[in-house]
Structure 1
Amino acid sequence: MDSTTGIFFWGFLIMYGIVMFLLSPKTVSLGGFFKGEDKQGRAANPWMITASIFIAWIFAKSVTNAANMGANFGIVGGIGYAMYWLCIPLTGWALYRLRRKFKATGMISFLTEHYGIAAAFCFSAAILVRLFNEVWSNTSVVGAYYGASGSAPFVIAALLFTAITVGYCCWGGMRGSIITDVAQAILFAVLLIAVLVWVVPMHDLSDFATSGTWTLGGGVDFIIGAGLQCLSYGFHDAVLTDRGFICEERKMLKSFTVAGLLGFVAIVLFSLIGVHAYLDGMSIAGSSAPVVVAQSLGIVAFFMMAVIMIATAGSTLDSTFSSLAKLTARDL
C-alpha cells in the first residue's frame, strides 16, 4: 500500500485503541474486575452477556477459517465450520445443570470440590494452553493486514494491537471486556452487512446455496466431526465458561442459546465471502480468503475487512486476558 493508505491504516489502529480505553470503565472492585459487575455491584445485563459471548466467539481466526472453508468446499464448508457455534447452547445447558443441581459457582471450584485439586490443576493447564493459542492466533490475523507474515509491519501491528488490548483490560477487567464487546459486536454486524451487500449480488443466491458437494469428501465429514466436538468443545474455553456464572441461571441459559444461534448464522454468512472466491475460481494458496477477496474489490473493501478483523480479534483478546486474570489470580 502507498504511504497515505498506510498512515490511514495505522491511524485507525491507534484510534481503535483510544476508543476502547474511552469505552472501558475504570474498574476497582473485585466483583467488577472478575465478574463483570457494575459500580453498584449488580450483575451484567443478560443481553450484554449475549453480545459478549457472540462476539468473543466470532474471533478473527474463526471468521478467516470460515471464509477459507467456504473457498475450499462452498457453502458446505461454511455450514461445517458454523457447527462449532452450536456447542454454546449445549455448554449453557450443562452449566445451568451444574449451577442448579450442584450449586456450582465456577468450573475450578466445582472440579476441586468433586474431583480434587489434581483434576482442577490439569484442567487449568489445558485451559492455559487454549488461552495462549487465542492470543497468537488472533494477533497474527491482524498483523497480516499490515504486512507479510514475519515482516516488521506485521510484528509491529501485532504487538501494538496486543499492547492496546492488555492496557484496557488492566483498566477495566471483565466489566470493561463486556462493555467493549457490545461495541465490537455492533461494529462487526454493520461491517459484515456492508461487505455482504457488496459481494452477494455478484452471484445468484442459488449459486451460493448449491455450491460445493454434500459428500464426505466435500465437507460433510467436517460437519459430522464438528457436531461430535460440540459435546465437549465449549468447556475448553474459559471465556465461555466464565460468562456462565455471572448472572442468574435462566438468564444465562437464554443468553447462551441466543448467542450460539446468532453465531451460527453469522459464521455461515461470513463464509459467503469465501464461497464467492469458490464460485469465481480465486486461488487462496498461501493467503486467506478474506484477504484475497478484499484485495480483489479494492482498498475500501480491504480496509473494511481489516476493521472486521481488528474488532473480532479485539473482542476475543480482551475476553482472553480477563479470563486469564481470573484463572491465575482467583481460581488457581
Structure 2
Amino acid sequence: MQSTAIILVFAAVIVASLLAAPRKASVDGFFSGLGPQGQAPGLWTLVLSQVTTWIFARSLMNSAILGYYYGIWGVLAYAAYYGSFLTGGFIVARLRKAGAGSVQDWLGARFGQSGVQCYNVVIALRLLSEVFANLLVVGLIFSAILPEVGVAKNASIIFVALLGLAYSAWGGLSAALRTDVVQMLVFLVVFFAAFIALITSPGFDIMAVVTAQGVSGSWNGQVLLLVAFLQVFSYPAHDPVMMDRGFLADRGTTRAAFLHAFWLSSICIIAFGVFGIQAALSGAEYEGQLLGTWANIFPTWIFVALLLSLLISAISTLDSALASAARLVVDELKLSPRTLNGGRVAMVVFMVLGGALTLWGNQTLFDAVAVSGTASMFLTPVLFVGLVLGRSVALWSYMVAFGAAMFGAFLYFKRGSEWAIQILPEGHKYEQLLVICVAVLVVGFVAVLAGMRKRS
C-alpha cells in the first residue's frame, strides 16, 4: 500500500513538472533562465528555486543521519553549510560590483585560462556528485519500499534519470526554475505535514531533541561544525547551481533572494534532521540509511511523506544540475555551440556519467560533500585577498592554493589507503577532515599572501 502511494504521488509530481515546463524553448531561456518575453525570474521564483536545489535529497539524508549519530550538533553542523547563502550572496554582490558576469569571468580576468580551467574542473566534479548522489537516494528509496523486486534500485535510477533528463533537456534553466516552484511548494506541504505530526505526537520531547547527543556522542558533530565554518566561505563559490542564479535578476532581487533562501532552507534542513534525532532517542537500530529505521518507528503516512520529500527534492536538483552542466559546457568551456541541441548533448553526457557512478555501487553520501567542499577551499584565500581586499594575486599563488585543496580532497577520499594512513593523524574521519581543511587553508593563505601585489 505504501509503495503504491509513493509511486502514484511521485508520478503526479513528475507530471505536474512536465506541465509546468515551458512549451517552447528558446536559447536565452535554456541557458539564462529568461521567460517567454525575455523577463528575468521574480523574487520568489528565485527563492524557491535556490532552496529546493539546495535542500536536495542527499542533504536531507545527511542531516538526518548526522542527527542520528551526533544529535543536535550533527544537525547544526550540516545546517551551517546553509550559511553558504549568506556568503554566496556576498560573493555574488562583490562579483557584480566588479563587473563580472560569473565566477569564471572574474578568475579569467586575473588568472587567464589556466585559472578558469582549474575552477571548471572543480565545478564539473561538483555537478557530477549532485547527479550521482540524488540518483543514489532514489535507488535507496525504491529498494526500501520494493524489497521483493530485485531490480527496483537500478530500474528506479534509470527511470528517474530519463524522466528528469526529458523535461530538463526540453527547457533548460527556464524549465528548472518553473518546475522548482511547483516541486518546492509540494515539498513544503508534504514535509511539514509530517513534521507537525512528529512534534505534536505524545512521545516527542523538544528538550530531549535540543540536548540530544546521538548514538555516537556529540564530539564528532562539533568537529564537523568547525569543518563547516572553515568551508562555508568557499563552498557556495564552487556550486554552479547557486552561482548561476546569482546573475539572473537585478541586484536588489538577487540580494533578497539569497537572504530568504538562507532562513527557509536552514529551517527545512534542521527540521529534517529532527527525524534522525528522534530515531536515535527512540532507541531504534540504524537500518538502510535510516529508511528502514523510519519504517519501523513512524506511522505509515509519515514514512510515506518523508520518502516523498526525498524524491521530490531529488528530481528538483537533477534538473538544476543538468541546466548548470549545459551552461558550463557551452558558455564556459565552449565545447558545444550555444544552441538548444548543444546544451542538450551536455545534459545527456552528465546524466550518463552521474548515473554510471550511481550504478557502480558507491553508497557514501556525506563523502561527496566533504570531498567537493575541501576541493573548493582554494577559493577562500583567492576570493578574500583578490575580491574582498582588492589585491592582485600571482598565478603561481593561485596554482599552489588549488594544488593544496585538490590534494587535501584526494587525501580525504583515499584516507583508508596505506599511504594516506601514513600522512593523516589517528582519529575519526571528521577529525582527519578538520586537520586537512586547516592545512589547506594555511598553505593557500601563505601562498596567496606571498604572491599578493599592489591593490588592483
Q: Structure 2-normalised TM-score?
A: 0.68
Q: Give the C-alpha shift of residue 327 in structure 1.
A: 0.7
Q: State the alpha-carbon separation in 1 of the partners of residues 209 and 299 from structure 2.
A: 22
- Aligned in 2, Cα 1:190/1:13: closer, same or farther, shift over 3 Å? closer
SS in 2 for 1:164: helix
Equivalent in the alignment of 1:235: 237
Q: State the alpha-carbon separation in 1 of the partners of residues 251 and 233 from structure 2.
A: 20
Can you list the C-alpha shifts for 1:6-41, whole angstroms capped at 9, x where unaligned? 454444443333221111113422221111111111
Q: Give the C-alpha shift of residue 325 in structure 1.
A: 0.7
Equivalent in the alignment of 1:116: 112
Equivalent in the alignment of 2:378: none
Q: Does 1:276 align with 2:278?
A: yes
* Residue among 83, 93, 96 paired with 1:96: 93
CA contact (8 A) 1:89 1:256 kept: yes
Q: How does 1:196-211 map to 2 (within 5 A)?
A: 196-200=195-199, 201=201, 202-211=203-212
Equivalent in the alignment of 2:265: 263
SS in 2 for 1:42: coil
Identify which range, 18-27 or 237-246, moves more after superposition.
18-27
Equivalent in the alignment of 2:83: 86
Structure 1: unaligned runs, 5 residues or longer: none
SS in 2 for 1:48: helix
Equivalent in the alignment of 1:57: 54
Can you list the C-alpha shifts for 1:48-74, whole angstroms capped at 9, x where unaligned? 111111110000010001001111111
Q: Give the C-alpha shift of residue 75 in structure 1.
A: 1.4
- Aligned in 2, Cα 1:7/1:188: closer, same or farther, shift over 3 Å? closer
Equivalent in the alignment of 1:302: 303
Q: State the alpha-carbon separation in 2 of the partners of residues 292 and 204 from structure 1.
A: 19
Q: How does 1:141-156 map to 2 (within 5 A)?
A: 141-147=137-143, 151-156=150-155
Q: State the alpha-carbon separation in 2 of the partners of residues 89 and 318 from structure 1.
A: 24
SS in 2 for 1:203: coil
Q: How does 1:1-332 map to 2 (within 5 A)?
A: 5-100=2-97, 102-147=98-143, 151-200=150-199, 201=201, 202-212=203-213, 217-285=219-287, 287-332=288-333
Q: State the alpha-carbon separation in 1 of the partners of residues 2 and 75 from structure 2.
A: 32
Can you list the C-alpha shifts for 1:131-181, whole angstroms capped at 9, x where unaligned? 111111101101112116994110111111111111101112111101111
SS in 2 for 1:116: helix
CA contact (8 A) 1:60 1:309 kept: yes
Can you list the C-alpha shifts for 1:226-280, whole angstroms capped at 9, x where unaligned? 1111011111110010001101112212111210122112111111101101111
Q: State the alpha-carbon separation in 2 of the partners of residues 264 and 5 from structure 1.
A: 29
Q: State the alpha-carbon separation in 1 of the partners of residues 241 and 292 from structure 2.
A: 27
Q: State the alpha-carbon separation in 2 of the partners of residues 27 and 233 from structure 1.
A: 35
Q: Which amino acid aligns with 2:92?
A: L
Identify which range, 20-29 or 168-177, moves more after superposition.
20-29
Can you list the C-alpha shifts for 1:67-103, whole angstroms capped at 9, x where unaligned? 0111111112111110000011111111101101x21
SS in 1 for 2:142: coil
Q: State the alpha-carbon separation in 1 of the partners of residues 85 and 182 from structure 2.
A: 21
CA contact (8 A) 1:81 1:223 kept: yes
Structure 2: unaligned runs, 5 residues or longer: 334-456
Q: Which amino acid aligns with 1:144?
A: L
Q: State the alpha-carbon separation in 2 of the partners of residues 95 and 6 from structure 1.
A: 43
Identify which range, 147-156 or 177-186, moves more after superposition.
147-156
- Name the Cα RMSD after superposition: 2.0
CA contact (8 A) 2:17 2:183 kept: no
Q: State the alpha-carbon separation in 2 of the partners of residues 27 and 330 from structure 1.
A: 21
Q: Give the C-alpha shift of residue 290 in structure 1.
A: 4.6
SS in 1 for 2:312: helix
Q: Which amino acid aligns with 1:330?
A: D
Q: State the alpha-carbon separation in 1 of the partners of residues 257 and 9 from structure 2.
A: 32
Identify which range, 296-305 or 123-132, moves more after superposition.
296-305
Among the aligned pairs, what percent are the same residue?
28
CA contact (8 A) 1:295 1:302 kept: no
Q: State the alpha-carbon separation in 1 of the partners of residues 245 and 292 from structure 2.
A: 32
